[in-house]
Chains A and B, each alone.
Chain A
Amino acid sequence: MSVLLDKDTRVVVSGVTGSEGTFHTRRNIAYGTNVVAGVTPGKGGQRAVDDKVPVFDTVAEAVQKEGANASLIFVPARFAADSIVEAVDAGCSLVVCITEGIPTRDMAEVYPYVRAKGVALIGPNCPGLISPGKANMGIIPGEITGPGPIGLISRSGTLTYQVMYEMFSGGVGQSTCVGIGGDPIVGSNFIDMLARFQADPETDAIVLIGEIGGDEEEKAAAYISEHVTKPVTAYIAGFTAPEGKRMGHAGAIVSGSKGTAKAKKETFESFGIRVGTNPTETAELAVKSLG
């Protein structure tokens, strides 16, 4: 199977009857994703998304009755942390939370709980993940790419689309693309995904897209040098970002000398990892890294 998601993954969508939930679930189903259920408390028994998806009041029922094993969350920010824990307790092994604007305290409390249960949480504030040609969980536009040997991990959404699109325009698709999210606390980090791509027989090379703020890129660089034998190409956004200004993502802020794009680039290069200067060059380097 691909990394985390393939045709057999049985998806339950929380917030399926909301406008975002309906719109993207429809697109995910059209892509071939196996969406088996939806959840909206109080609307159990209805059918949603052009009558294609049975709705339940709880994720637990969706797991019992439809065998759901992966959760996709579109519920509003104030209820999203609740939905993450609900999906974990119901037995989902993969939880993808698209919702933006979840209070940091909620994620600070949810994170250790989810990690202790061994569940893979992607997001929040992320575009989701796609295994091109197989399945799509989230809001990544599937039509811009196709299957191929490159695994992609990113803190960004649209920047990820840009790089996927440039690689595919160059004739090379992806095994899986994962947007891990731009919040200060996200469920999965670069290292979690690097380990999965390293172990994935369908992935031959890896692209890592980072941005200013935090030190996850630096940790990833050290991990790559010790544990990843597949070629890795990196890209960092935010060279022109001034100190102390938040660049859109809650996590994207340079504080003092920490978290600058320059420092991250230098760390990658010190470990012998190629860094593209722009999305186009990054895509070209990645394609070339296949040999």
Chain B
Amino acid sequence: MDLTEYQGKQVFREFGIPVPEGKPASSPAKAQQIAEKLGGTVVVKAQVKVGGRGKAGGVKLAQTPAETAEVAKQIIGMDIKGHMVRQVLIERAGDIAAEYYASFMLDRGAKAYLGMCSAKGGMDIEQVAAEEPDYLAKVHIDPLVGIKQFHLNEMMSFGKIPREHQKAVGGLLEKLFRCFVGADAALVEVNPLVMTSAGDAIALDAKVSLDENALYRHPEFTKLVDNRDLPKQERAAKDLGLGNFVALDGYVGVIGNGAGLTMSTLDVVAEAGGKPANFLDIGGGANAEVMANAIGVILSDRKVKSLMVNIFGGITRGDEVAKGILAAIDKLGDVKVPIVVRLDGTNAEEGRAILQKANHPKIVPAATMLDAAAKAVELAKKRRAS
């Protein structure tokens, strides 16, 4: 779960990481109010969960409260790489003596935590890694041991942080690691980490991604959950408990059980010459209601010209799937989209019998996965042509 910058800074504050003073605003009037309280020059920053907002014009300085309102008006409502700006963060602008980079994440390959640090802050870290790898420290930390002073020393030394700033930066790095572990984050990143002329280290930006599976340990974070940024259909799926939905840009709807099989189903649809409209894994043990909801969500997309249901029952039972398909058709009324159904595994025969008995004109049985993909693509193309 990705957080916006101001949410990430809220989490940072809880772990004692210094961040600039500031507050979010969703209207120019509110932005002006915040600027008045802060006094002096402020920075107005678009709150979107996507990089490159500075270049897109989503970060601007304002000298006065009136100017703050004006700038906020420009930024709120802006579209940055497909993300609508709903909020801006108003922060007191401070002096910047140096800009660095710091992050912690899990390195899947090494099965360990990875700390990164660089004296080249304020720019894209992938660019630093590619062009100036000598300035990027990558230090692995054993999760059972946790962070030690030598890890911090290595991060700063290999990252070429000047000696006079190492005490302040090291202090921030250690707190950042405590935050990474303590908040069950998948990623904490500070870019830039700035040094003020007074010698303080401050997290000027905050990128935090939390592990959704660990939210039960942090009830205080549940208020950070914000699905408003998601596309409409993905939000509808989430609201129905269908967490494993991804919208794509094709016209063949896909429902499968299990992530691997569903991904494979998208691939066979593409191989058969079609374009999948979505990824939807209904998971293990889905009952008729889940199946009916899944069909409802997919058919709400007008681009969808056919739907392929590909189920290999393990825990999921074929009879429940069949009942769900019929329930969805009942509920939706006049279904125009052909639904190609391939069932195998647990109770598949019972499921096929239920569908055969219903004998609905829009339900098309298929014997194999490849057969189903071919039929779904053919039917979709026919309807696109007509």
Contacts and interface: CB of A to CB of B under 8 A. Distances in A.
A156 B144 contact: no
Contact of B344 (A165, A215, A250): A165
B345 A111 contact: no
Interface of A: 77-78, 100-106, 108-109, 111-113, 127, 139-141, 144, 154-162, 165, 182, 184-185, 209, 211-212, 214-216, 219, 235, 237-242, 245-252, 256, 261, 277-280
Given A77-B213, A108-B143, A184-B108, A248 B279 contact: yes
Interface stretch (B86-94, B219-227, B254-262, B299-307): B254-262
A239 B284 contact: no
Which 6 pairs across A and B sit closest by C-beta, in order of nearness?
A156-B260, A248-B259, A158-B258, A159-B260, A103-B214, A158-B261
Interface of B: 106, 108-109, 111-113, 126, 142-144, 181, 184, 186, 211, 213-214, 216-217, 244, 246, 248, 256-264, 266-271, 276, 279, 281, 284, 312-315, 344-346, 368-370
A112 B314 contact: no
Nearest to A157: B258
A238 B267 contact: yes
Contact of B276 (A157, A240, A252, A261): A240
B39 to A, nearest CB: 40
A273 B359 CA distance: 45
13 contacts: A77-B213, A139-B315, A157-B314, A158-B258, A158-B261, A161-B314, A185-B108, A240-B248, A247-B259, A261-B267, A278-B267, A279-B264, A279-B369
Given A77-B213, A139-B315, A248 B263 contact: yes
Contacts, number: 166
A245 B246 contact: yes
B345 A112 contact: no
B264 A162 contact: yes
A122 to B, nearest CB: 16
Contacts of B314: 127, 139-141, 157-158, 161
A102 B213 contact: yes
A19 to B, nearest CB: 10
A100 B258 CA distance: 12
Contacts of A78: 216
Given A101-B213, A162-B312, 4 more contacts: A112-B144, A159-B258, A161-B261, A165-B345
Given A165-B312, A280-B369, A240 B143 contact: no
Contacts of A209: 260
A180 B106 CA distance: 19
A248 B106 contact: no
